[in-house]
Amino acid sequence: MKERPSFPVRLDFLDDKSRLKRSTPQRNHGAPGLGVKPPCRVLVQGLGLDSSAVRLHMVDRLAAQGIVDPLVLSAMGSIERHRFVDTALVNQAYEETSLPIGLGQTISKPGVVARMVELLRRGAVGRLGRVLEIGTGCGYQAAVLSLLAREVYSIERLRGLHGKARENLRHLHLANLHLLFGDGMTGYAQGAPYAAIIAAAGGESVPPVWLEQLAVGGRLVAPISTGASSAGQQALLIVDKTAQGVHKTVLEAVHFVPLKSGVA
């Protein structure tokens, strides 16, 4: 894989004030190799939320739903989801539900995040290599991915969400996570090839440039429209890239925001 570009990067509109503070993350002694400290007990004042206990309950629920990858379960238990939603929604942060994050976008259900990330990893023993995320949103999935990959590039087309994700992630000091402001439809060629690509928005088809930026042996997981586009039906799509070509697998129905081009 070629040498990655230096950071912070600029995608059309990113300025120096948009830099995400980085430092060396602490090691998670409870989950070797994840690179962050284990979940601490956090009391959200005035809301009575014991983050550690509620997150552990969420992890138990994910396991009961069929998530078996121990690193995925550990990462889901390490990232405090309530930090990525509005204060008024904190008490719903660990429920199996999507929540609004502004600008017509949502944070995916914990089960959907865990499912997609587990599919992306396909049973890998250690961390993935370089990962591209299309659609940073509030930054929650990017944080989870940062614990499961050596390097994560996450691109967001909405300036307001890009800024919100920066603020949400600041306290984690994730040195291997790079937030980009730009058009996710074009991917991010400077960081390619990627061991994995994951999308948080669904289109009629996978943009060819994503497949070009995916490394041979890599995997892409994204929602894709099925049937009539007006009906809004979507399903999870897996694309495995091999030396002989690409192999596509369509899985269960999902519901994501539509994939759009440009920035706003």
5 in a domain, yes or no? no
261 in a domain, yes or no? no
The closest alpha carbon to 148, from 40, 225, 258, 71, belongs to 71
Query: What is the rounded distance in angstroms from the CA atom of residue 31 to the CA atom of residue 113?
Result: 19
| pLDDT at 51 (0 to 100) | 78
How many CB atoms are closer than 10 A to CB 255?
Answer: 14
59 in a domain, yes or no? yes
180 in a domain, yes or no? yes
Catalytic residue ranges: 108
Q: Which residues pair with 99 in a beta bridge?
A: 107
262 in a domain, yes or no? no
6 in a domain, yes or no? no
Q: Are 200 and 137 in contact (CB under 8 A)?
A: yes
Please report, in tens digits, the pLDDT of each residue of the chain (264 residues total).
555 544 333 343 333 333 323 333 333 333 333 444 444 333 444 344 567 999 999 999 999 999 999 999 999 999 999 999 999 999 999 999 999 999 999 999 999 999 999 999 999 999 999 999 999 999 999 999 999 999 999 999 999 999 999 999 999 999 999 999 999 999 999 999 999 999 999 999 999 999 999 999 999 999 999 875 556 799 999 999 999 999 999 999 999 999 999 999
Q: List Cα–Cα distances, 27 to 24, 61, 70, 199, 257, in angstroms.
A: 9, 25, 17, 28, 35
In this prediction the pTM is 0.82
> From its phi and psi, is residue 3 left (phi > 0), alpha (psi between -120 and 50) or beta?
beta
Structural domain count, the chain? 1
Domain residues for 55? 28-254
Q: Is 111 helix (H, G, I), strand (E, B) or coil?
A: helix
260 in a domain, yes or no? no
250 in a domain, yes or no? yes
CATH number at residue 205: 3.40.50.150
Q: Specify the amino acid at residue 41.
A: R
